Amino acid sequence: MTFAKIERRSLPGEVYDRVLGELVAGSLAPGQALPSERALAEALGVSRPAVREAIGRMAHAGLVKVRQGGATTVSDFRRTGGLDILPHLLLPGGDIDLTVARSILEARLAIGPIVAGLAAERHGHNNAATLDAAVAAIETDTDPVGRQRQALAFWEHVVDAADSVAFRLMFNSLRAAYEPALVALSTVMADEVNRVGDYRALARAITTGDADDARHQAHELLSHATQALLHALDLLEGDRP
């Protein structure tokens, strides 16, 4: 089998990101017709095939509706989109949207304990050395952003032990959304990633097969970041006129 070389960044990918950015920003409203392929190609300085491929990707992702012989219209991404657009929602224009960050942390808080319980029930006893090493990596990394990365690695092992493809794919999407915001969230997440004892207690519950305790420990651990972000949002709301 022969594989073609992968381009570092394709023009259709750039077009996709640019148009999606306009959707997320609200510049293109649901039901609104996109400009024609020719007009988009001229505006973006790319070829029509690049635009056509990007629009095809957007249609496949449920972000637009393509009608043969008619206009391509914008869909309501909140009703038709998937988790893959979360990074665009979290960092629109490069600035973090704290309400989207809150929803991501709320999703972690809801899903994390379930995944931890499954890990304890299924393959936790086989992962003692791996989880202990992951906790040690969190403890020894003195960089706040580095600690967040080590915490993500810890949770990756937990998701693997849970042995659920659906939760694995959810984790992949949430991680892809979260990683670009590591620096921006470092203050909010500092308390959670510094709670090494809680990570150690969660690892112990998983490896001993105690699903109830694993769910409890995961909830306790993940709730701190969510509460910190809710507090930050309250402060921002209070500063607004």
Tell me the pLDDT of the chain (241 aa) as tens digits: 444 443 445 788 888 888 888 888 888 889 999 998 899 899 888 889 999 999 999 999 889 999 887 789 999 988 998 888 888 888 777 777 878 888 888 888 999 999 999 999 998 789 999 999 999 999 999 888 898 899 999 999 999 999 999 999 999 988 888 888 788 777 767 777 778 999 999 999 999 999 999 999 999 998 877 787 777 666 655 554 4
Q: What pLDDT does residue 128 have?
A: 92
CA atoms of 103 and 118, how far apart (whole Å): 23
Per the DSSP assignment, residues forming a β-bridge with 64 are 74
Q: What pLDDT does residue 239 have?
A: 53
CA atoms of 18 and 36, how far apart (whole Å): 15
Choices 1.10.10.10, 3.30.300.10, 1.20.1440.230, 1.10.1200.10: CATH for 11-81? 1.10.10.10
H or E element at residue 70: none
Q: What pLDDT does residue 56 have?
A: 92
Residue 46 CB: number of other CB atoms within 10 A? 17
What does the buried/exposed string (b/e) look like for 152-187 if buried means 16 or more CB atoms within 10 Å of the residue's CB?
bebbbbbbebbebeebeebbebbeebbeebbebbbe
CATH of domain 85-239: 1.20.120.530
> Could you tell me the residue ranges of all domains in the chain?
11-81, 85-239
Say how far residue 49 (Cα) sits from the centre of its chain.
Answer: 30
Rg (CA), the chain: 21
Q: Give one DSSP letter per residue of 91-132, joined into a string.
A: SGGGS--HHHHHHHHHHHHHHHHHHHHHHHHHTGGG-HHHHH
Calculated CA dihedral for residues 125, 127, 129, 133, nearest 10 degrees:
-140
Q: What pLDDT does residue 233 have?
A: 64
Reported residue count of the chain is 241
Closest CA to 159 of 181, 131, 193: 131
Residue 109 has phi, psi (to 5 degrees) of: -65, -35
Apex CA 65: angle with CA 18 and CA 51, to 5°? 40
